[in-house]
Structure 1
Amino acid sequence: MSNLKECKELESIDLSNNMLTELDFSPLIDCMTLRDIRLKNNHLKELDFWPLVNCPSLVNIDLSENRIQGIDLSPVFLRAKVRMDSSVVIQADFILRYIYTHKELVERFHLVRPDGAPWHAIPVIIWINYRKKSDDMSWSKIKQPLQLLIKSIDKEKWYNCQRGLLIGLDMTELSGFDGNPMKLLDTTDSNMTYKEARQAIYDRTLELLGQQFEDNGPTLFLDIEKMKNTRASKLIPHIVELRKRELENTTLQIKGSKVFLKPLWFTHYGLTILKATGKGLTTDLEGLQLLKSSFSELNLNLKTKDVQDVYQSYNGNGSSSMQRYVFNYIQGFYD
């Protein structure tokens, strides 16, 4: 592979049927034009794809009929469709957990049975927890790949990204930050231990959430119960107040006998009650009465308005990334 380093316009590599036992992608680290890698029917047991993390054109990889038992696909997760044996255990960085829906995962990872027939199933992915990673590597070696992945994630997936990052760091209660996930890492440095870095990220997240609340931002997926007796408890009064206010600013539109629930899903109380009652994006008048009863038990009121034409009625400050994530979430498109 070393000779390929000089191939500046390389688009495809086909090394199928060569009985290869190992392969080093390092010479391709600066290859910006590479689109296809075909490694079918070799004796490969492991591969390191990190040298290809910045290859923007990579779209297809065929690893089928090898001896790979498990493989970390984090470096190519965002770019390439991968064909592999159905027995392979896929691993990926936790930051990527909510990037794709179930349907998108099936489209990206083509599993093949031993008889060569396609295996039409959602791939099982082991999401790599950062605490477990820290047992084998320093924070600097964890941080650098994270930064590379975040740079490759489209702005419309930032909310998904922060959810994966903070949950992977065991900070589920704070995983409602609606902004650039790179900001969560900017107070850490390479000399920190994992514990120190996690502490810095925790404090930075509190700071960013505080700014988010000052701007009347969203409060979804923030767990007040878990925040109690922690440094995050200082945010609880702001969250409680904002959650009441976001509901007060929400009006459900009624056209005929159909009630449109979309804006309610973007509020904490709405998300909680709608999910518990199995509601979707609309309901009928009877369903509305059941919802009003549920909210009344919490001393909360639902505002409604009869309309001739339904219009975009979300008045909150949540990003389009957050809104898209919520819609996928309520439809069960993620694990």
Structure 2
Amino acid sequence: MTASNILDIFDKITNIKSGGVIERYGFNDFLEVAREVRTKVTDDIWLEVGWDILEGMGLEELSGCDYDILTALEHIPSDSDLIDIQTFLRHTLVETLLEQFESGGTTALLDIERMVGTPADVLIPKILDLRREEMENTVITVVGKEVILYDVFMNMIGTITEPKEPVILEDLWLTAYGCQVLSAMHLGLKTDLITLSKIKAVLEKMELTLNIEWSERVINKSHVNMSEAMKTLILRRASNLKR
């Protein structure tokens, strides 16, 4: 792909962000540009473009959904105006998210505050339930061992920890609350025991428990249900936050 092609594609992405392009040029031209951009970018980038499209249409409450927006756009009648499109997308995405949530779908990047007072607020109770459930099912593995300390009389006086390698935070990043906390703390995909204790303390203030398990190897116990595109996007953002 040439530099000029890349600039052209991202110029079109910028144009897609504005709902005004539909009112000015019509839905068919808008859809044609969306199709072209979709063929030029990776799945994770397209998710972000889809959120830009939603926000540009005044549907900010649905931004962050794990859904290929082009799937819905392809089913919209060609003579639809912006109001028709907004109505169609709201109905389609709320129904789709409800179905996803029944299968434990991700809520990691959805913003509840934006949903309040919109048709999407029916999703909030289920989102809160799912977020607590995923935290209960998430375990952070510390590779190493705890060593028991004894005095000269062989009385136990405490323990010390001997981690063999950094603590992997990938599974925590893939949860909604974990993503929020780790982003706020500007952490990447790995950390140490001291920082892990700080993460645990922050979550406890939110009345959440961080499950930590010592093991000889990393154990992936993530039960989060999300697309590979969403996973790639979240972990890419996490990597970019590394201090």
Question: Quick check: which one's helix share is greater?
Answer: 2
Q: 2:8 aligns with which of 73, 83, 86?
A: 73
1:192 pairs, out of 80, 84, 90, with 80
Structure whose alpha-carbon radius of gyration is higher: 1
> Given the alignment of the two structures, is residue 316 of structure 1 paired with residue 229 of structure 2, yes or no?
no
The amino acid of 2:71's aligned partner reads K
How far did residue 162 of structure 1 move? 2.8
Contact 2:44 2:233 in 1 (8 A): no
Q: Do residues 305 (structure 1) and 213 (structure 2) align?
A: yes
Encode CA deviations 1:95-136: one digit per residue, 9 max, x unaligned.
xxxxxxxxxxxxxxxxxxxxxxxxxxxxxxxx5433231342
Residue 174 (structure 2) aligned to one of 266, 270, 285: 266
Give the CA deviation at 1:202: 1.9
Q: Which residue is 1:246 aligned to?
A: 134
Contact 1:173–1:221 (8 Å) recurs in 2: no
Aligned counterparts, 1:19-168, within 5 A? 59-60=1-2, 73-74=8-9, 91-94=11-14, 128-151=16-39, 153-155=41-43, 157-168=45-56
Structure-2 change in CA distance of 1:154 and 1:72 (3 Å)? closer
Superposition map of 1:270-285 within 5 A = 270-285=178-193
Q: 1:12-31: per-residue Cα shift (whole Å, max 9, x none)? A: xxxxxxxxxxxxxxxxxxxx
Q: TM-score scaled to structure 1, two decimals?
A: 0.60
In the TM superposition, what whole-angstrom CA distance separates every residue of 1:157-184 from its partner, at most 9, and x where no partner exists?
5533433332333323312322433222
CA distance in 1, matches of 2:122, 2:32: 31
Normalised by the length of structure 2, the TM-score is 0.80
State whether residues 166 and 172 of structure 1, in contact with CA within 8 Å, keep that contact through their aligned partners in structure 2.
yes
Task: Look up the match of 1:232.
Answer: 120
Bigger relative contact order, structure 1 or 2 (CA pairs below 8 A, ≥6 apart): 2
Partner-residue secondary structure (3-state), 1:210 = helix
**How far apart, in 2, do the equivalents of 1:236 and 1:174 lie?**
12
Give the SS at the match of 2:141. strand
Structure 1, gaps ≥5 residues long? 1-58, 64-70, 78-90, 95-126
In structure 2, the CA distance between the partners of 1:60 and 1:299, relative to structure 1 (3 Å rule), is closer
Percent identity over the alignment? 27
Distance 2:83 2:4 in 1: 38
How many residue pairs align between the two structures? 221
The answer on whether the counterparts of 2:188 and 2:240 sit within 8 Å (CA) in structure 1 is no
- Contact 1:217–1:317 (Cα < 8 Å) also in 2: yes
CA distance in 2, matches of 1:302, 1:284: 15
1:203-241: per-residue Cα shift (whole Å, max 9, x none)?
A: 211111111111101102211111111111101111010
Q: What is the identity, as a one-letter code, of the residue corresponding to 1:221?
A: L
Q: Residues 224-274 of structure 1: CA distance to partner in whole angstroms, max 9, x if unpaired?
A: 111111111101111010011111110001013332211000111101111
- Structure 1 position 210 matched with structure 2 position 98: yes
The Cα RMSD (Å) is 2.5
The match for 2:196 is 288
Letter in 1 for 2:131: R
CA deviation digits over 1:288-332, x for unaligned, max 9?
211111111111100011111124443311121111101222344
